[in-house]
Amino acid sequence: MFEIHSLRIGELYIPQGGKLHRDPVHVWLVTDGENHILVDSGMADIKRIEEMLKVTGWGGGHDALRAKLAEHGLAADDISHVVLTHMHFDHADNTDLFPNATVVVQKSELFHAIDPTPSHRPYFKGHIMAELLSRKRPKGLQLEDGDFELLDGFRVLHVPSHTPGMQVPVVTTARGRAALVSDLGDHYKYWFPADARATDKPTRYLGDTFMAGPIRSESERDWIAAMQRVVDNSDIVVPAHDFRIPMHMPTDWWAIPDSTEGDLCFTEPQPSDPVSF
């Protein structure tokens, strides 16, 4: 049985229609007390993000990750595996902090990072690829080709959608199976598009289905099928960039949030927000 901690390591402020869309950036610590696994490794320090992408925010980088792990009494060397849901810059940076861990990625994701769908070009960064390729094989880098089981109770589904090598860990806890869906529907609105608890713009005609996200490598139908496969194989989904996700599972446990309150993505960044770690 595993416990899952959602580590909020920073935020991105993404300009969208004259406003700033706030995306919290999460990394997940999955632990059974003996094995400590990270799902995703987050983004670089916000200063580097600003230089690379002209996007503001706070946090990120080694300091943020170290600080969050320390809250759980862990150091980077305690992490055995880093499972990357995909290789976009806000999910797969900082792997150099874990030289002794095994980084686990789909083979198809590595190839896509080298030759991305054109609209994905800004999201893959050379230094992230270079770090992965510099790792000792097979101990430092484990390439997968489809679904697999990392450990008993830690299953990974290969679900091409947002990227060709997208993979979703499904983790068994005392309450049930939590799917860490990352950017396969990175907000609850994509999973419950007709439900007023999930979105302030419920779309009635999507009542029996899901909504695909805007950044895709596959067709809308393939994306929806991927979401269906995750739902068929899990009890709750945990999206990557929603403010309302459970921060500790199974203590916090919900399939859908109570309301759109707490969804801060269109609120103004606050002066009280941290600037860095």
Q: What is the dihedral of CA 172, 142, 61, 239, to 10 degrees?
A: -40
Scanning 66-74, 76-84, 85-93, 141-149 for contacts with Zn ion by CB under 5 A, the matching segment is 85-93
Q: Per-residue string for binding with Zn ion, 210-249, x by CB under 5 A?
A: ----------------------------------------
The yes or no reply on residue 135 touching Zn ion (CB under 5 A) is no
Question: In the chain, what is the greatest distance between 2 CA atoms, to the nearest angstrom?
Answer: 51
Scanning 20-28, 105-113, 144-152, 183-191 for contacts with Zn ion by CB under 5 A, the matching segment is 183-191
* Number of chain residues interacting with Zn ion (CB under 5 A): 2
Q: Per-residue string for binding with Zn ion, 139-178, x by CB under 5 A?
A: ----------------------------------------
Q: 85 with 166: CB under 8 angstroms?
A: yes
Q: How far is the CB of 264 from Zn ion (least distance, A)?
A: 20
Q: How far is the CB of 27 from Zn ion (least distance, A)?
A: 14
Q: 143 with 83: CB under 8 angstroms?
A: no
Q: What is the C-alpha separation between 32 and 74, in angstroms, rounded?
A: 13
Pairing outcome for strands 236-239 and 177-182: parallel
Q: How far is the CB of 140 from Zn ion (least distance, A)?
A: 23
Instruction: Pick from 23, 40, 131, 183 the residue near Zn ion by CB under 5 A.
Output: 183
The yes or no reply on residue 45 touching Zn ion (CB under 5 A) is no
Nearest-CB residue for Zn ion = 88
The yes or no reply on residue 81 touching Zn ion (CB under 5 A) is no
Instruction: Pick from 88, 120, 158, 241 the residue near Zn ion by CB under 5 A.
Output: 88
Q: 238 with 176: CB under 8 angstroms?
A: no
Q: How far is the CB of 166 from Zn ion (least distance, A)?
A: 8
Strand-pair partners of 81? 37, 102
The yes or no reply on residue 93 touching Zn ion (CB under 5 A) is no
Q: How far is the CB of 88 from Zn ion (least distance, A)?
A: 3
Q: Which is nearer to Zn ion, 23 or 144 (CB)?
A: 23
End-to-end CA distance of the chain: 31
Scanning 4-12, 80-88, 124-132, 200-208 for contacts with Zn ion by CB under 5 A, the matching segment is 80-88
Q: How far is the CB of 183 from Zn ion (least distance, A)?
A: 4
The residue ranges that bind Zn ion (CB under 5 A) are 88, 183
